[in-house]
Amino acid sequence: MNPSAAVLTEPFFGDHQGGILTGTQRSTVVGAFDVATDERKDLAGLLQRWTALGAQLTAGETVPIPTEELSGDTPSSTDSLEAYGLGPSRLTLTIGFGKSLFEDAEGRDRFKLAHHRPPALIDLPAFSGDALVADDSDGDVFLQACADDPQVAFHAIRSLARVAPDVAILRWTQSGFSGGNQAGTPRNLMGFKDGTMDSNLHPPDDLDATLWAGTEGPGWMRGGSYLVYRRIRIDLQRWDQETVSEQEQVIGRDKLNGAPLGTAEEFSALDLDAQDAEGNLAIPLLAHVRLAAPATNHGAVIVRRAFSYDNGTIPQGASRAALDKSAVYDAGLLFLAYQKDPRKAFVPIFSKLADTDSLNKFSLHTASGLFAVPPGARGPGDWVGRLLVD
């Protein structure tokens, strides 16, 4: 890595949390926790600690972890040190709340917060083809760490997990990466440019209409956003058996330059009526870009941060596909999409995609979550979630 890149910082405090519109870093670790207490003051303490530690870590400080204050029988420990000397590396930390924080699986309103639950923070419906692993999904509170160094992102999640081990019980984590493309839009493991539209790299013009929660919901969420997380395994071996032309018909873009089919350049507008020389639609009816386009979704827009993941392999003989002699890559996309209201964006868009997208033949959703991401802490003394929990 460029030595100068390690010292770059992203702001922690602000109207919005970092890690939403921030330029995609090279690594991420996301994770969720279940809250083991029914005391709102413990939840507030957790968020205060996370805010304070998040501000320190994003500034690149190596910090003591004050575990002893919350758990008298835990030895006092200091920073776990694996990120010592690595610099801030553009670390961002983003905190979200799951629906179960407001009403748990038994319907209990543990923190007397149920009446503050935003209507947009729903249980995601079951989608066609879902193969979700419950142990890798959902959770009361969510963390997203992004950094240009994988060890810095790992250290951030681990450090936040340590400050209140009796309050926030680790539920799952998942790491991801983005190829360090120097020029232009990075590529995903399908080999296509990923982020040309609907991404933090090229966000929509009217963020208040598409990304940030406003007066339509509770005041504590104003300036926040809603994150949909999906871990999407791509059957890369099956994908690799398709010709490039077949892949382009699935996605609806040119593989090399990213141009929507029927156009010449990556950032050309989609022409959903364009025809090829034979009079067929240039972008097939069930191509991914057509089905996901705002024009076919009443203008609905999401703002994605695109990462790939590689969890190794699923053993030989355990796969669902024709390639069952071979181990199957457990690799693909970490889909992290921010939006103003998932009921008007991810849910209707993906309901349609799940039923019809040509890409479904190659994809399997194995983990999921929806989290309300409150606005940022305004400065030292403020903390993420204060307007809800305080």
Footprint (CB under 8 A) of a copy of itself, residues 203-232: none
* Residues between 248 and 287 with contacts to a copy of itself, criterion CB under 8 A: 255-256
CB 284 within 8 A of CB 245: no
Residue 81: both structure tokens together: 């040190």
Instruction: Give the integer Cα–Cα distance in Å for 172 and 137.
Output: 7
- Which range, of 102-110, 172-180, 278-286, 353-361, touches a copy of itself by CB under 8 A? 172-180
75 in helix, strand or coil?
coil
Choose, by CB under 8 A, the member of 23, 184, 299, 380 that binds a copy of itself: 184
β-bridge mates for residue 232, sequence order = 333, 365
Nearer residue to a copy of itself within complex by CB, 36 or 209: 36
Site string for a copy of itself, 21-50 (x = CB under 8 A): -----x--x-x--x-x--------------
How near is the Cβ of 365 to a copy of itself at its closest, in Å?
16
Six-digit token string for 51: 């805010």
Q: Is 169 in the site for a copy of itself (CB under 8 A)?
A: yes
Structure tokens at 215: 């007066």
- Grouping H, G, I as helix, E, B as strand and the rest as coil, residue 49 is helix
Closest CB 241 distance from a copy of itself, rounded Å: 6
Q: Is the dihedral of CA 355, 358, 362, 366 positive or negative?
A: negative
Distance CA 385, CA 97 (A): 9
Minimum CB separation of residue 189 from a copy of itself in Å reads 5
Please identify which residue in 165, 204, 294, 348 interacts with a copy of itself, judged by CB under 8 A: 165
Strand 92-98 versus strand 363-373 pairing type? antiparallel
Pick out residues in 97-116 that bind a copy of itself (CB under 8 A): none
Least spacing, CB of residue 209 vs a copy of itself, in Å: 33
CA–CA dist 388, 25 (Å, integer): 29
Tokens of 111: 């923190």
Length of the chain: 390
Site for a copy of itself in 114-143 (CB under 8 A): 135-136
Tokens (6 digits) for 43? 């939840």
Q: Under 8 Å CB-to-CB from 351, ≥6 apart: which residues?
A: 125, 127
Q: Which stretch binds a copy of itself (CB under 8 A): 150-158, 215-223, 265-273, 353-361?
A: 150-158
Residue 55 makes contact with a copy of itself by CB under 8 A: no
The footprint of a copy of itself on residues 342-381 (CB under 8 A) is none
Q: Does residue 316 touch a copy of itself according to CB under 8 A? A: yes
Using the minimum distance from each CB to a copy of itself, give the nearer residue, 184 or 380: 184
Nearer to a copy of itself, 36 or 131 (CB): 36
What span, in angstroms and rounded, lies between the C-alpha atoms of 276 and 287? 15
Residue 238 interacting with a copy of itself (CB under 8 A) = no
| CA pair distance 3, 210, nearest whole angstrom | 37
Taking CB under 8 A as the criterion, the residue among 61, 208, 216, 240 binding a copy of itself is: 240
Give the binding range for a copy of itself (CB under 8 A) out of 102-110, 199-207, 210-218, 307-315: 307-315
Amino acid, res. 383: W
